[in-house]
Amino acid sequence: MTALLEVQGLAKHFPVKRGLLQRMTGQVRALDRVDIGLDEGETYALVGESGSGKTTLGRCVLRLIEPTSGRILFRGDDIAVLSRRELRRRRRFFQMIFQDPYGSLNPRMRVVQIVGEPLAVHRLVERQARRAEVERLLDLVGLDSGALDRYPHEFSGGQRQRIGIARALATRPQLIVADEPVSALDVSVQAQIINLLEDLKVRLGLTLLFISHDLAVVHQIADRVGVLYLGRLVEEASSGRLFSRPQHPYTISLLSAVPVPVPVASPGPEPQNGRTRLVLPGEPPSSVDPPSGCRFHPRCPIAQARCETDPPVLASVADGHSVACHFPGELLAAEVMGRREAG
């Protein structure tokens, strides 16, 4: 497959300022030398706790915020060094679906204006044909023409997110960054939006960078998954392999918390099917002063002395599966996820 997007050594540090003179007293290392790549037509999911750097990475990729260092290659061109004018010409090819369908739409604009605005900015459709194009886009996301002249407050949360998706599709993008696109929606509506995104991906040949903390949703939609912890990529694999054979203790902990469906006839609280919940002690450390060595070692159940001083590098443990851990947890995964072989 052809690489559509390559992120190389991406870092983003936010200054911490204090006092009347607002002197810089430190830096929040939201991202620290992250490498990922997206093949054309695939869905790559980023997962991790709040504060792990998922949204920061997505916004850096689109240059909604400026990276501190690193390269962002879109079809081989480094968009991190483009001027504002050059970036504006390219921006139509990568768009974003925002997390909050309530706050991402201008309440003073009608739907025909909201969805039609990208068409006007990028001069893609003549003014007289714009309304018909917006109607086509709304039909694409499952809304009828009656929505054209209504305001955002007249719609439900799921409908507003469909409007946001239509706006993202208006410029005929090749890459869409979907930042927690269903987390603010009811569970029943989440499934509808995920199914819509999967359908649009196939019909329009889209590539998705899908940001989420919901591993059940990620398992459904993702082709590959990257796990972020405190600004660093700790594991990356195909969705099937990551969910069946996780290697990093942090990934194992996240997966152990995913609910397992319970049979209706089950008499008691045994629905975990042998799975043991791996509860991590404490909270994630501060990004202002991250731990030395492996950043996960203060919370890791298998940490050893080496982990406190020697930062692990992302290394391959199998075809298409990489992990940043000195002691990849095959045995730990078997114990926690309930797959230890008999005998």
Q: In the structure encoding, which two tokens stand for residue 205, read together? A: 């040949």
Q: What is the pLDDT of residues 30-45, one digit of tens each?
A: 999 999 999 999 999 9
Question: How high is the pLDDT of residue 16?
Answer: 86
First to last CA, the chain: 42
Q: What is the pLDDT of residues 104-142, one digit of tens each?
A: 899 999 999 999 999 999 999 999 999 999 999 999 999
pLDDT higher than threshold 70 for residue 340: no
Under a CB-based contact definition with an 8 Å cutoff, are residues 5 and 38 in contact? yes
pLDDT higher than threshold 70 for residue 88: yes
Count of H helices and E strands in the chain?
Answer: 10, 12
Question: How high is the pLDDT of residue 261?
Answer: 59
Q: What is the pLDDT of residues 154-165, one digit of tens each?
A: 999 999 999 999
Q: How confident is the model at residue 257 (pLDDT cuts 50, 70, 90)?
A: confident
- In this structure, how many other beta carbons lie within 10 angstroms of the beta carbon of residue 261? 8
Question: How high is the pLDDT of residue 197?
Answer: 95
Ramachandran quadrant class, 185 (left: phi over 0; alpha: psi -120 to 50; beta: rest): beta
State pTM to two decimals: 0.89
Question: How high is the pLDDT of residue 50?
Answer: 86
Q: Give the residue extent of every domain in the chain.
A: 244-259+273-343
Question: How high is the pLDDT of residue 284?
Answer: 81
pLDDT higher than threshold 70 for residue 342: no
Under a CB-based contact definition with an 8 Å cutoff, are residues 255 and 239 in contact? no
Question: How high is the pLDDT of residue 278?
Answer: 78
Based on the number of CB atoms within 10 Å of its own CB, is 178 exposed (0-12), middle (13-18) or buried (19 or more)?
Answer: buried
Rounded Cα–Cα distance for residues 294 and 335 (Å): 23
